[in-house]
Structure 1
Amino acid sequence: MFHYKLKILKKALTQWSKKIFGNIFQEIANLEDVIKVVESHFKTEPNVANREKLHEAQAKLKLYLHREEKFLKQKEGMQWSKDGKSNTKFFHTIVNGRRWRIKVNKTQNEEEEWMENQEDIVDATGEFYRNQFKRQEGDFEYAMIEGLPNVLSDEESENMHAEPTIKKVYQAVMGLNRHSTRGPDRMIDAFYQDAWEA
């Protein structure tokens, strides 16, 4: 249910973003063209009106470049970009490279048959992890761990099994990196920090 609500929220936020901000990259390209035209007008007729148009276009371009940088920082999930000049080509390489690295093109099932169809890969992966976490009779020999020393006190052992308090969860959420990559729910950590009160 929660995942479904997040999907609906994501769709609504995407539509809102497109409506409010539009296509940032296309807007930057358009503004760069506008600035070239306005600069040529200012060079031929250096008056106050043309100077104001040039400054207005430059300010708008600066705003969109800032939005682009924020967008790419969210996409890249790395902290090194805090300072220095932004390198758009490098950002795109990082983002696209990460997509290709995490894509699974083929896998082997338990019968050692290769599968390249996405649905088969998803099914085989799900089956692998379902089997991985099933407790099977006689699979584990507990005698080999009997000689290991007990390094936890009884209190520490109990704390390991206790449910976390709201305070602990809050501290964990607020300690997350706001600019990290999206999690399995496709939301960035900043979303949970900003929406904590809700």
Structure 2
Amino acid sequence: MSVIEANVNNYQRKLKDWSRVSFGNISRALVEKKKKIKVAEGEAVRSGISDQLHVLKVELRELLTKEEKLWQQRSKLHWLKKGDQNTRYFHGKASQRCRKNCIKCLRNPNGEWVEGDDRIAQLFIDYYSELFSTSNPNQLEEVLVTISQPNSMNADLVKPFVKQEVDMALKHMTPLKAQGPDGIPFHLLSTLLGFHW
């Protein structure tokens, strides 16, 4: 065995030991934790003290998060191996995603099921049109009078801009992020407009 093979085997063994210590067998730990929670639930019902149950549930959530990350890593590894190649795996994943993202029927406000793309689209349009339309408020002034606004807040909102405030705001902008919908980063704008600090 060469020195390189020995080193690789040594590191592989160390990684397995690290994984066992850091993560252990997550599936086994989940089963054990769920059993402990059942026992703790019985104790909590009898004694009325649920501190231990709360701690166990927090630990269970952490284990479930670890398990989810483990499965994500495994699926990414599988995706890297099988990937976008023209394989059965790829077509199965694409078909599954298409089925998952498809709305086949919806229930309308009357409780009836609506099917068909056109009828479902019309249901969405009707719902959001109703949601975002006005219900004809005619006593808006009375509502606004009841909202209390501190005078200091109002004064801050209507006072004129001061050059120092604008300079400070500009200096605190992230240079490589676009501040508006045009997508132009602040660094480029400041260069074009001649701002220099």
| TM-score (norm. length: structure 2) | 0.35
Q: Which has the higher contact order (CA 8 A, sep 6+)?
A: 1
| TM-score (norm. length: structure 1) | 0.35
Larger Rg: 2
